[in-house]
């Protein structure tokens, strides 16, 4: 592989784009592929197969060829509401797992730079933020303030946009009351049932890192159900 | 899942090369059965045998490093290596899990 190709990969990653690296295993040549980009003579004969694998986000050696394709997909966006201690622990896990993280907390005193380095952090109310950022069924939401006036506008937005994962911190009692309010606001049982509450897999955790671990485990398990890599 | 870690490895590869080291890149390109790491897992190796990343759970790394050192020494550009199930011989390189995998090694230049 040429060092220029390597540098292109790093650059593409910083742009958060989907792309693939294709390698001809019989002559060692490799290049970056995106839909619409042209292929060199090493790969042009396999155009259809390459596009097929690319669209399926499938990686591997294309059947009956010596062409290896490795797909790099756009990281999944996780929005965390609440810049709390659990958030700090969550960020560490999420970075290693190739999630893109945005933290929202309107309470400025919770948002200090020391606690959250190199993370997109927005000190505004969730409803203002969601007017500006793009979200869809590939987005996840984790609410951690357990303050209804901060968490619930975010939950409502996530339900409407059908986020693939929605989790809300709070006890069984807190969650029951939350569900009641969402029902009064017109959400049906199926929608409300899609919220993971109390959030996280039951690993018996009590400390912030343990709770973060249980949330991340649940999130990853949901991601693996929806995305076939 | 391996994606973000791969970037760390590739970024490191660039910095090794820019500091004058020779670097080979190993990538898992095919797996059968219960092989430990998924397709796309990567490892980089310099001419002194220093490495970063992994292509299995430690089962075939030694062999991959040896092959990469040969590749760099002989100034070859690439090689495809197949690993199969190991037998009972503890010193034999192979995959204890019963899987099979193909690793593609190439020099970065």
Residues A9-50: tens digit of each pLDDT: 888 877 777 899 999 999 999 999 998 889 999 899 999 999
* CA nearest neighbour of A20 among A42, A52, A44, A45: A52
Asked if A74 contacts A81 with a C-beta cutoff of 8 angstroms, the reply is: no
* Residue B12 confidence (pLDDT) above 70: yes
Tell me whether 0.85 is exceeded by the ipTM: yes
Give the per-residue pLDDT at A223. Answer: 87
Residues of chain A contacting residue B78, judged by C-beta atoms under 8 Å apart:
25, 28
Would you give the end-to-end CA distance of chain A in angstroms?
A: 24
On whether any CB of chain B is under 8 Å from the CB of A95, the answer is yes
Asked if B7 and A229 come within 8 Å (Cβ–Cβ), the reply is no
Residue that wins the pLDDT comparison between A62 and A118: A62
Asked if B23 contacts B45 with a C-beta cutoff of 8 angstroms, the reply is: yes
pLDDT bin (cut points 50, 70, 90) of residue B90 is very low
The percentage of chain B sitting over the pLDDT mark of 90, rounded to a whole number, equals 59
Going from the C-alpha of A228 to that of each of A55, A184, B62, the distances in angstroms are 12, 36, 31
Give the per-residue pLDDT at A72. Answer: 86
DSSP A93-141: HHHHTTEEEEEE-S-GGG--TTT-TTSEEE-S-HHHHHHHS---TTEEE
* CA nearest neighbour of A66 among B99, B102, B68: B102
* Residue B1 confidence (pLDDT) above 50: no
SS3 B40: coil
* Residue B5 confidence (pLDDT) above 90: no
Both tokens of residue B96? 């204890």
The percentage of chain A sitting over the pLDDT mark of 70, rounded to a whole number, equals 97
Angle at A22 between CA A16 and CA A25, to 5 degrees: 150
* Assigned fold of A76-226: Rossmann fold (3.40.50)
* Residue B88 confidence (pLDDT) above 70: no
Residue that wins the pLDDT comparison between B3 and A37: A37
- Summarised one tens digit per residue, pLDDT across range B25-54 is 999 999 887 766 789 999 999 999 999 999
Closest approach of A73 to chain B, Cα-based (Å): 9
DSSP assigned state of A57: T
Closest approach of A9 to chain B, Cα-based (Å): 8
DSSP assigned state of A36: T
Mutate to test the interface with B, among A1, A60, A72 (most CBs of B within 10 A): A1
- Summarised one tens digit per residue, pLDDT across range A132-185 is 998 988 899 999 998 999 999 999 999 999 999 999 999 999 999 999 999 999
Closest approach of A5 to chain B, Cα-based (Å): 10
Give the per-residue pLDDT at B92. Answer: 56
Phi, psi of A133 (to 5 degrees): -100, 150
Asked if B30 and A23 come within 8 Å (Cβ–Cβ), the reply is no
For chain A, residues classed under CATH 3.40.50.720 are 76-226
The percentage of chain A sitting over the pLDDT mark of 90, rounded to a whole number, equals 73
Q: What is the mean pLDDT of chain A?
A: 91
Give the per-residue pLDDT at A229. Answer: 45
* Residue B107 confidence (pLDDT) above 50: yes
pLDDT bin (cut points 50, 70, 90) of residue B3 is low
Question: Quick one: average pLDDT of A116-122?
Answer: 86
Question: Quick one: average pLDDT of A201-217?
Answer: 95
Instruction: Nearest chain B residue to A224 by CA: give it.
Output: B1
């Amino acid at each position: 592989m040429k060092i220029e190709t390597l540098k292109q990969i790093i650059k593409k990653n910083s742009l958060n784009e989907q792309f693939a690296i294709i390698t001809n295993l019989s002559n060692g040549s490799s290049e970056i592929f995106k839909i619409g980009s042209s292929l060199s003579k090493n790969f042009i004969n396999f155009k259809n197969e390459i596009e097929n694998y690319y669209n399926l986000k499938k990686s591997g050696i294309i059947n009956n060829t010596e062409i290896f394709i490795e797909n790099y997909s756009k990281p999944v966006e996780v929005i965390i509401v609440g810049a709390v201690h659990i958030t700090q622990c969550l960020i560490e896990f999420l970075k290693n797992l190739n999630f893109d993280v945005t933290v929202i907390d309107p309470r400025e005193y919770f948002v200090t730079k020391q606690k959250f380095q190199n993370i997109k952090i927005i000190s505004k109310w969730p409803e203002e933020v969601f007017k500006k950022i793009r979200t869809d069924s590939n987005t996840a939401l984790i609410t951690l303030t357990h303050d209804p006036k901060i968490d619930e506008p975010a939950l409502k937005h996530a339900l409407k946009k059908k986020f693939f994962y929605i989790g809300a911190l709070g006890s069984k009692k807190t969650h029951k009351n939350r569900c009641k309010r969402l029902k009064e606001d017109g959400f049906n049982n199926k929608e409300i049932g899609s919220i993971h509450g109390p959030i996280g897999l039951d690993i018996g955790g009590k400390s912030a890192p343990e709770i973060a671990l249980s949330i991340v485990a649940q999130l990853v398990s949901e991601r693996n159900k929806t995305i076939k890599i | 899942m391996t994606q973000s870690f791969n970037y760390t490895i590739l970024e490191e590869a660039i910095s090794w090369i820019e500091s004058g080291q020779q670097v080979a890149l190993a990538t898992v390109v095919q797996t059968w059965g219960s092989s430990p790491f998924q397709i796309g897992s990567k490892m980089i190796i310099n001419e002194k045998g220093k490495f970063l990343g992994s292509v299995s759970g430690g089962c075939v790394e030694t062999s991959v490093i040896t092959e990469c050192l040969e590749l760099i020494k002989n100034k070859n550009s690439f090689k495809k290596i197949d690993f199969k199930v190991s037998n009972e011989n503890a010193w034999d390189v192979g995959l204890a899990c019963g899987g099979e995998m193909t690793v593609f090694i190439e020099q970065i230049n």
